[in-house]
C-alpha cells in the first residue's frame, strides 16, 4: 500500500516530461496489481512480460527517436519502475521496487534543483522509507498510518549524517558521462541575433540569473549585464566571432588598467545549456573555471547544465582596449557590401556633417530621439534590406533593431562598433537585496570605440525610450499591453496583489540562499571551506576530518539510542560463566547461542579430555548456582568458588 503511494508520488514531478502513454502504463500496472491483490487476475506470464518489454522499447524509440540522452533513459527507468509493480510477488521484488524508487527520486534532480523539488523529494524519500519499513512490520498487508511516523524519526536520525556527508565527502567526478538533456531547449540569449529574437525572449518571465552586490546596488541605468559581443554581420544576422576566426595573437585579452571604484557581486545563473556568463563592464572573476575573452566577456568552458555560482569584480571606469589592433579595427568596421544602400548613404552624409566621432554618435542618437521612432515589443517583420526598411519606413522596433541600425551606421561612417547582448536592469528583491534578472530583461546595445576612450557603451534604445533603461521593459511598453502577453499564468502578472508579490519575493530570496549554499557547493567551494577551517589539506587530514565528523554526528545518535533501550544487567555469575566460554572459545570451541551449559560441557570434555574434571566442576557449580534452589549464604561462597575455578581454568 505504502509502496504504491510512494510510487505515484515519485512519478508525479516527471509527468510533464514523459510521453502520455507512460502514464497509461502506470495506470495499467496499478490496475493489474490491484487485481492480483484481489485474486482476480494472476501474475503475467513470461511471454507477456517479454512482449511488454519489447513494446515499451519500441514505443520509447518512437516517442523520442533515440535511446541516448537523459529523457529517454529516465522514461525507460520509469517504465521499468511501473512494470515491476505487476511482478511484485515476493519480498525480494518489493526491495527491488523500493530501491529503484530511491533512484528514480534522484533522477528528478537531473532536471531541476529547485527548492520546492527538494522538499518534494524529501517527502517522497519519507514515503519510500515508510514503505520499506512497512515491509518489515508484522501484518504488512495492512495499511498502518503510524509507520510514517517511525520512518520520519529514522530519517531525522540520519539527517545530521547527511549534512556532514554533503559538506565533507569528496566530490568525485563522474566515471562516465551520458549526453545530458539532448532535448532541453537552450534558454536565454543565443549566439546570434536577428531582428525579432530578443523581443521573442522578452515574452518569458523565467529567471535568467540572480545577483547579490557586496555594497550598495548601482542605479538601474548602470546595470548592463554583458553576455555576448556580436562583431560579425552576416546574412542579416549578428554573430559573435568563432574561436577560429580570431587570429592567435588576438585571442588573449588585453588586460585593461583597473582604475576607479570596484564593484563586487555574486551571480547565480539558472541553467542555460550555454557557456557564456554575465557581468558588468569590466568584469573579472576569481573563479578558476571562469575565463575572460578578448572582447571582455566572461565565459565558462563547461556548458551550464545546472545552477552556476560565480563571484565577479567589476571596474566600470576601466578603459577597454585603449589601442585597437589592425585586425580588430578591420573586423569591427566590416560592413556587408550591397545591402542596405540607403543606410550606408545616410552614414556617409552624417560623416560629412560631423568630423568628430563623438559628435557623429550623438547625431545618430539624436536622430532616433527626435524623429518618430517607436519602441515596441511587436515590431513588424522586415524584408531583405532590413535596416533600410526599418530606418526609413516602419520605424518601429525593439532594442535589437536599434542596436543593429546604430552599429551599421557607425561602422559605415568609419567608427569601430559592435552589438552587445545581455540583460539590462533587473528587479530588486527588497527581502534580501538581490537583483532578479528575468528573461524579459534581455537587451541588446552597442559599443563604439573612440580614440582615447576605448570601447564606450552606447545604448540607442535609451535614446528612443529612456523608460526602458530607467524603469524596465514593463513600463516602456505599458501602453501596448504586450508585456508578458504569452505567459498569462506567471506570478509576475499578479504583482499588483501585495501578498502574492511578497510571497514571490520571499520565495525568491529563499531560492538565492538555497542556490548559494547548497546548489553552488561544488568541489572547489568545498576545498576552500575545508581549507579555511582546517588549513592545508592533505589526504590524511581529510580522512581524519571526515571520520571525525562522522563520529561527532553518530555518537550522540548512538548514545541516544542506547540510553533509550533499557540495558539488561548481566549478573556476576553469568559474567564469570561467559569468561569461561571465552576461554574455551579461544581454544576453538565457542558456545552456540542455543546451546545449554550442560551440552557445552559435554562437548568441551570431548575436545579437551585433559581438563575434563575442571570443566565438570565449573559446569556443575554453574548449574547449581544458576538453576538450583539455594540458600543465599552458600550462594556467595559457591560464587567465589566458581569465580576461582574459572580463573584457574587452563587448557
Partner 1 sequence: MSDMRELQGALEAAVSEVGKVVLGKEPQIRLALCCLFARGHLLIEDLPGMGKTTLSQALAKVLGLDYKRVQFTSDLMPADILGVSIFDRRESVFNFHPGPIFTQLLLADEINRTTPRTQSALLEAMAEGQVTIEGETRALPNPFFVIATQNPIDQSGTYPLPESQLDRFLMRLELGYPHPRAEREMFERQHHLDTERVNLKQRIDASQLEQIRQAVTQVHASASVLDYLQRLVAYTRQAPEFAVGLSPRGALAILQCAKTWALMNNRGHLVPEDIQMVLPAVTAHRLIPGGDYAGDSLALVVQMQSNVDVVRP
Nearest to 27 by CA among 11, 39, 14, 43: 11
Stretch near partner 1 under the rule CB under 8 A, chosen from 104-112, 125-133, 422-430, 596-604: 596-604
DSSP H helical segments within 413-519, as ranges? Answer: 460-464, 466-471, 473-476, 498-514
Does 2 contact partner 1 by CB under 8 A? no
> Which of 306, 357, 443, 581 is labelled catalytic?
443
Choose one: 284-292, 367-375, 430-438, 589-597; the region binding partner 1 (CB under 8 A). 589-597
The sign one gets for the Cα dihedral 593, 595, 598, 599 is negative
Q: Does 594 bind partner 1 (CB under 8 A)?
A: yes
Residue pair 313/264 in contact (Cβ under 8 Å)? The answer is: yes
What is the spatial order of strands in the sheet that 454-458 belongs to? 224-230, 417-424, 442-450, 454-458
- Residues in the interface with partner 1 (CB under 8 A) total 26
Q: Please indicate whether residue 581 is annotated as part of the active site.
A: no
- Residue 462 or 625: the one with the smaller Cβ distance to partner 1 is 625
Binding residues among 271-300 for partner 1 as defined by CB under 8 A: none
Catalytic residue check, 443: yes
Q: Write down the least CB distance from residue 628 to partner 1, Å.
A: 5
Based on the shown chain and the rule CB under 8 A, indicate whether residue 595 belongs to the binding site for partner 1: yes
Decide if residue 597 touches partner 1 (CB under 8 A).
yes
Half-sphere exposure of 131 (CA within 13 A, CB side): 25
**574 contacts partner 1 (rule: CB under 8 A):** yes
Residues 138 and 253: their CA atoms lie apart, in Å, by: 70
- Dmax of the chain from CA atoms? 128
Is 578 a binding residue for partner 1 by CB under 8 A? The answer is yes
Burial of 150 from C-beta contacts in 10 A (0-12 / 13-18 / 19+): middle
Distance in angstroms (rounded) separating the CA atoms of residues 98 and 119: 19
581 binds partner 1 (CB under 8 A): yes
Stretch binding partner 1 (CB under 8 A), from 168-176, 384-392, 449-457, 587-595: 587-595
Q: According to CB under 8 A, which residues from 117 to 136 bind partner 1?
A: 136
Rounded to whole angstroms, the Cα distance separating 373 from 532 reads: 57
631 interacts with partner 1 by CB under 8 A: no
The correct pick among 42, 90, 249, 631 for binding partner 1 (CB under 8 A) is: 90
Question: How far is 161 from 142, CA to CA, in rounded Å?
Answer: 32
* Shortest separation between residue 612's beta carbon and partner 1, angstroms: 19
Decide: is 568 part of the binding site for partner 1 (CB under 8 A): yes
Of the candidates 114, 295, 388, 459, the residue annotated as catalytic is 459
Q: Count other Cβ atoms within 10 Å, centred on residue 242.
A: 9
The verdict on 89 binding partner 1 (CB under 8 A) reads no
What residues contact 624, with CB distance under 8 A and at least 6 apart?
Answer: 630, 638
Which residue in 399, 401, 438, 441 is the catalytic one?
399
Question: CB-wise, 531 or 571, nearer to partner 1?
Answer: 571
How crowded is residue 560: how many other Cβ atoms within 10 Å of its Cβ?
10
Beta bridge partners of 429: 434
- Answer for which of 30, 154, 623, 651 binds partner 1 (CB under 8 A) is 623
Residues lying near partner 1 in the complex (CB under 8 A) are found at 90-91, 136, 138, 140, 568, 570-571, 574, 577-578, 581, 591-599, 623, 626-629
Q: Which residues are catalytic?
A: 399, 443, 459
Amino acid at each position: 500500500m505504502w509502496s504504491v503511494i510512494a510510487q505515484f508520488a515519485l512519478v508525479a514531478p516527471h509527468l510533464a516530461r514523459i510521453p502520455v502513454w507512460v502514464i497509461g502504463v502506470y495506470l495499467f500496472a496499478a490496475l493489474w496489481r490491484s487485481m492480483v491483490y484481489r485474486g482476480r487476475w494472476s501474475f503475467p506470464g513470461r511471454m507477456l512480460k517479454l512482449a511488454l518489454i519489447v513494446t515499451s522499447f519500441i514505443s520509447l524509440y518512437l516517442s523520442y527517436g533515440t535511446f541516448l540522452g537523459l529523457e529517454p533513459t529516465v522514461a525507460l527507468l520509469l517504465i521499468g519502475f511501473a512494470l515491476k509493480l505487476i511482478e511484485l510477488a515476493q519480498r525480494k521484488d518489493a526491495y527491488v521496487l523500493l530501491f529503484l524508487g530511491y533512484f528514480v527520486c534522484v533522477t528528478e534532480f537531473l532536471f531541476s534543483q529547485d527548492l520546492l523539488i527538494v522538499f518534494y523529494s524529501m517527502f517522497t524519500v519519507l514515503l519510500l522509507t515508510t514503505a520499506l519499513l512497512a515491509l518489515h512490520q508484522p501484518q504488512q498487508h495492512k495499511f498502518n498510518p503510524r509507520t510514517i511516523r517511525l520512518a520520519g524519526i529514522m530519517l531525522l536520525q540520519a539527517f545530521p549524517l547527511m549534512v556532514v556527508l554533503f559538506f565533507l565527502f569528496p566530490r568525485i567526478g563522474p566515471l562516465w558521462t551520458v549526453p545530458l538533456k539532448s532535448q532541453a531547449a537552450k534558454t536565454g540569449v543565443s549566439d546570434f541575433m536577428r531582428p525579432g529574437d530578443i523581443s521573442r525572449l522578452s515574452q518569458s518571465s523565467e529567471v535568467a540569473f540572480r545577483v547579490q552586490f557586496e555594497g550598495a546596488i548601482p542605479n538601474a541605468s548602470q546595470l548592463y549585464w554583458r553576455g555576448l559581443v556580436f562583431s560579425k554581420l552576416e546574412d542579416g544576422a549578428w554573430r559573435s566571432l568563432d574561436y577560429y576566426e580570431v587570429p592567435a595573437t588576438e585571442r588573449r585579452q588585453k588586460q585593461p588598467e583597473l582604475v576607479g571604484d570596484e564593484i563586487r557581486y555574486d551571480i547565480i545563473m539558472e541553467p542555460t545549456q550555454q557557456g557564456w556568463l554575465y557581468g558588468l563592464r569590466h568584469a573579472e572573476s576569481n573563479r578558476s573555471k571562469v575565463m575572460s575573452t578578448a572582447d571582455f566577456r566572461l565565459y565558462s568552458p563547461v556548458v551550464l547544465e545546472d545552477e552556476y555560482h560565480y563571484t565577479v569584480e567589476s571596474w566600470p571606469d576601466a578603459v577597454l582596449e585603449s589601442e585597437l589592433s589592425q585586425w580588430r579595427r578591420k573586423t569591427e568596421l566590416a560592413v556587408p557590401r550591397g545591402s542596405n544602400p540607403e543606410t550606408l548613404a545616410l552614414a556617409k552624409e552624417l560623416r560629412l556633417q560631423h568630423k568628430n566621432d563623438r559628435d557623429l554618435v550623438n547625431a545618430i542618437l539624436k536622430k532616433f530621439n527626435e524623429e518618430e521612432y517607436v519602441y515596441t515589443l511587436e515590431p513588424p517583420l522586415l524584408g531583405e534590406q532590413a535596416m533600410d526598411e526599418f530606418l526609413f519606413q516602419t520605424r518601429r522596433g525593439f532594442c535589437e533593431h536599434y542596436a543593429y541600425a546604430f552599429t551599421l551606421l557607425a561602422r559605415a561612417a568609419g567608427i569601430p562598433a559592435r552589438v552587445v547582448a545581455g540583460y539590462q536592469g533587473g528587479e530588486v528583491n527588497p527581502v534580501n537585496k538581490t537583483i532578479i534578472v528575468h528573461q524579459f530583461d534581455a537587451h541588446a546595445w552597442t559599443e563604439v570605440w573612440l580614440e582615447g576612450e576605448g570601447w564606450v557603451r552606447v545604448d540607442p534604445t535609451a535614446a528612443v525610450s529612456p523608460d526602458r533603461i530607467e524603469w524596465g521593459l514593463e513600463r516602456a511598453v505599458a501602453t501596448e499591453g504586450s508585456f508578458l502577453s504569452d505567459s498569462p499564468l506567471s506570478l509576475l502578472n499578479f504583482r499588483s496583489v501585495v501578498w502574492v508579490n511578497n510571497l514571490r519575493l520571499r520565495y525568491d530570496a529563499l531560492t538565492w540562499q538555497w542556490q548559494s549554499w547548497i546548489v553552488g557547493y561544488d568541489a572547489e567551494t568545498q576545498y576552500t571551506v575545508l581549507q579555511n577551517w582546517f588549513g592545508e589539506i592533505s589526504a590524511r587530514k581529510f580522512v581524519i576530518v571526515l571520520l571525525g565528523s562522522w563520529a561527532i554526528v553518530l555518537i550522540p545518535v548512538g548514545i541516544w539510542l542506547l540510553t533509550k533501550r533499557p540495558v539488561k544487567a548481566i549478573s556476576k555469575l553469568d559474567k564469570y560463566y561467559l569468561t569461561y566460554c571465552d576461554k574455551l572459545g579461544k581454544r576453538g570451541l565457542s558456545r552456540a547461542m542455543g546451546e545449554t551449559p550442560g551440552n557445552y560441557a559435554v562437548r568441551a570434555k570431548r575436545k579437551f579430555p585433559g581438563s575434563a574434571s575442571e570443566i565438570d566442576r565449573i559446569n556443575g557449580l554453574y548449574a547449581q548456582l544458576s538453576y538450583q534452589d539455594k540458600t543465599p549464604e552458600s550462594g556467595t561462597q559457591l560464587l567465589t568458588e566458581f569465580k576461582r575455578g574459572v580463573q584457574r581454568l587452563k587448557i
